Amino acid sequence: MTAQQQRCRLAAFDFDHTIVAQNTDTVVRDLLPNEVTGPSARALNELVENWTLYMAEIFRLLHEQQVTEARIRDTIRCIPEVPGFVRLLKRLKRLNFHLIIISDSNSVFIDEWLKAHHLTDCFKAIFTNPAEFDEKGQLHVRPYHQQTECKLSASNLCKGRVLEHFVIEQDLRHNIRYDQVFYVGDGHNDICPVLRQRACDFACARQGFAMEKHLVKNRNKFKLRAQLLVWKSGFDLLEQLNALPQLHWLNECEDAIGLRKAAEDARRASAATVVPVKGANIEPEQ
């Protein structure tokens, strides 16, 4: 007997300058005590076109300069959110969205930040460059994959391919079909995934950043099918999402659940209230 198909909504997020207000790689790179000179500087200049290899060398230099694992983790935890994004993510989770991250950061940075902000359980999957600290405290990073087909993406991560494969896998393996897919990003490498979206989906681009500028300037050239939402903050994006007719019934369901919970809490509070009788030693049950 075939299991009944589950229908829901998917929100896919970039990480740097989307969920967090800065670029995690450059924030950690700035922990280098002094400007790098000599052979190391030349090596970095040669690697800068391949960002993952460049950051691997940065991590080696940080270890060489005795920048500890604890300091790197502390630095990541202290990066501020883009205003309103913690609230946005928790709201979408309550509305039974499936949430994923597709990012060119790395697994250590993303896991550390999410853990610090109590968001780990919000995400169904995270697609990023694998990373780990070795026993000596040096951070190592590897490319998520290698690709040459997509010219809009870096060689180590085509976000469009990742998003497409995830949606197909959910359908074929888990019998989950997404009625709408929301992709939220800011950068040039966030254009590829939205060009693979359907007309019923939403491309959510941060105002003033590369993704929005390129999509607006080249909309006819790109032949974007998804509906474009331009956002300034998590608060702004949440307000726009709440206003979508497609989500009205979800908001109404949550409001109804909230009202029922409030009524139940009030009933329990009323039942627990005991009016003392004069002369009696009565205490509420604990």
CATH number of the structural domain spanning residue 133: 3.40.50.1000
Report residue 38's pLDDT band, with 50, 70 and 90 as the boundaries. Answer: low
Q: Is 30 within a domain? A: no
Taking 80 as the threshold, does the pLDDT of residue 138 lie above it? yes
The reply to whether 10 falls in a domain is yes
- 134 among the known binding-site residues? no
Residue 125 falls within a domain, yes or no? yes
Inside any domain, residue 256: no
Residue 198 lies in a domain: yes
Give how many domains the chain has, as a whole number. 1
Q: Is residue 101 part of a domain?
A: yes
pLDDT at 256 over 50: no
Out of 87-96, 118-127, 129-138, 147-156, least confident range: 147-156
**186 among annotated binding-site residues:** yes
The response to whether 201 counts as a known ligand-binding position is no
pLDDT digits (tens, 9 = 90+) for 58-88: 999 999 999 999 999 999 999 999 999 999 9
Q: Which residues make Cβ contacts (< 8 Å) with residue 272, sequence separation at least 6?
A: 284, 285
The span from the first CA to the last CA of the chain, in angstroms, equals: 49
255 is in an annotated binding site: no
At residue 198, the pLDDT reads: 96
Is residue 37 assigned to a domain? no
Count CB-CB contacts under 10 A for residue 119: 20
Domain that includes residue 220, residue range: 6-23+81-247
Q: What is the pLDDT of residue 248?
A: 72
| 96 part of a folded domain | yes
Looking at the DSSP bridge assignments, the partners of residue 100 are 12, 125
Catalytic residues: 14, 16
Residue 91, pLDDT above cutoff 50: yes
Task: List CB contacts of 112: < 8 A, sequence separation 6 or more.
Answer: 73, 76, 77
| Rounded CA separation 117/133 (Å) | 21
pLDDT at 283: 35
pLDDT class of 221 with cuts at 50, 70, 90: confident
Q: Quote the pLDDT of residue 257.
A: 47
